[in-house]
Chains A and B, each alone.
Chain A
Amino acid sequence: MQPNPLTIDDIAALVREKFGDVISDPEKTPTAEFFTITDLDYLQAVMYFLREDERTKFNYLYCLSGVDNNDGTFTVVYHLESLGIHGHRLEVKANCSKEKPEIPSVSEIWRTADWHEREVYDLFGIKFIGHPDLRRILCPEDWEGHPLRKDYKVAEYYHGIRIPY
């Protein structure tokens, strides 16, 4: 297959052509270019399409991270790359509310998402629907709270050991 790197506008057009209006317009900042998946019901389908389609072929999820926007919403950021095929990269975002922190899992599409999603669940408390084994990965299993949330308060004690300095 000949490498054919696409711009984010091309990719967004491909997704819109296939699924309709499920994504936002591409946003371009000096550091990143991304679009947001607005209809979470289509998240897995869009991701699968991005991985499988001959024109996009995003075979590599090189990072998955969580963000607390401090306005009652969370964001999950997916960094994709077409490694060794087209060579293009893409950032995709998905939002959810703090009251219902649920986002479909992509661990069936990229196996590497398994641990990344566990980490985001551990530190932000975002539940990935469809994840095969959603447990904490860094903090101890009986840890209370999700430490990277903006409203996280450090507990006084953990197992009888004082936490604050």
Chain B
Amino acid sequence: MSLLDTRFEKGGVIISKVEDLLNWSRLSSMWPMSFGLACCAIEMMATNASNYDLERFGIFPRSSPRQSDVMIVAGTVTFKMAERVKRLYEQMTEPRYVLSMGSCANCGGPYWEHGYHVVKGVDRIIPVDVYVPGCPPRPEALIGGLMKIQELIREEKLGGKREDAKKRLAAKAAPAEEVIAAQHPQANLPKPQVKKEHEVAEAETTESA
């Protein structure tokens, strides 16, 4: 789907699937809700600013949940804030995606044991699609997480379920163990457990039979 303008010169006709066109347009204009909760928000703002320039991906923060597609939970979610976060999520129109940015939003971070006031992971209140680790994550990591959401959107089918798209994405992904083993042959790692796409399909057919 890249370099659309080069295709225009070849007769002005592009053949594509509606699904692909829809997915392409949605992944090219992921609008996150502009709100931040803690120090991760500083990193998120740096990612939005000119050095990392998220707008080149069509990512452009919106001030209203009703105009947003993506919620970047950037920072510590306190119990006082949790209800607000949940309400904002409910106000977003579907399809909506949630990116949990940083250790606090992922699992409570440094407050996991003694933080009486911290929700131990934003996934206890809203469903999360992508987790970005780091304390705080660098802009590159946040961009990586946003591109993961783009990959997820690319896998979606009309009327399909989000869960199925996630399964297809997981089947495509190279297992982390394989990548690490390729880079560090001396590290004696266990065999990867993630199944390949055809294996998933085979398992499904045998289950239904």
8 A Cβ contacts from B142-177 to A: none
8 A Cβ contacts from A113-154 to B: 138-140, 143, 147, 152, 154
Interface residues as binary, B118-133 with A (CB distance below 8 Å gives 1, 0 otherwise)? 0110001100000000
Q: Does A32 touch B at the CB level, under 8 Å?
A: no
Which chain A residues lie closer than 8 Å to B79 at the CB level? 140, 143, 158-159, 161, 163
Query: Given A161-B124, A162-B124, A165-B113, is A139 in contact with B80 using a C-beta cutoff of 8 Å?
Result: yes
Which chain B residues lie closer than 8 Å to A143 at the CB level? 79
Q: Out of A139, A152, A165, which one reaches B108, CB within 8 Å?
A: A165
Which chain B residues lie closer than 8 Å to A152 at the CB level? 116
Q: How far is the CA of A159 from the CA of B107 in the complex (A)?
A: 19
Which chain A residues lie closer than 8 Å to B83 at the CB level? 159
Query: Given A158-B79, A161-B79, A161-B82, is A139 in contact with B120 using a C-beta cutoff of 8 Å?
Result: no
Query: Given A139-B80, A140-B79, A140-B80, is A161 in contact with B116 using a C-beta cutoff of 8 Å?
Result: no
Q: Out of B80, B112, B117, which one reaches A165, CB within 8 Å?
A: B112
Q: Does A20 touch B at the CB level, under 8 Å?
A: no
Question: What is the interface of chain B mostly: helix, strand, loop, or mixed?
Answer: loop
- Judging by beta carbons under 8 Å apart, are A165 and B116 in contact? no
Instruction: Identify the interface centre among B80, B112, B116, B125: most chain A CB within 10 Å of its CB.
Output: B116
Q: Out of B107, B113, B125, which one reaches A161, CB within 8 Å?
A: B125
| Number of B interface residues in the complex (CB < 8 A) | 14
| Number of A interface residues in the complex (CB < 8 A) | 14
What are 28 A-B contacts defined by CB distance under 8 Å? A138-B80, A139-B80, A139-B117, A140-B79, A140-B80, A143-B79, A147-B116, A147-B117, A152-B116, A154-B116, A158-B79, A159-B79, A159-B82, A159-B83, A161-B79, A161-B82, A161-B119, A161-B124, A161-B125, A163-B79, A163-B116, A163-B120, A164-B120, A165-B107, A165-B108, A165-B112, A165-B113, A165-B120
- Please report A residues at the B interface, Cβ cutoff 8 Å: 138-140, 143, 147, 152, 154, 158-159, 161-165
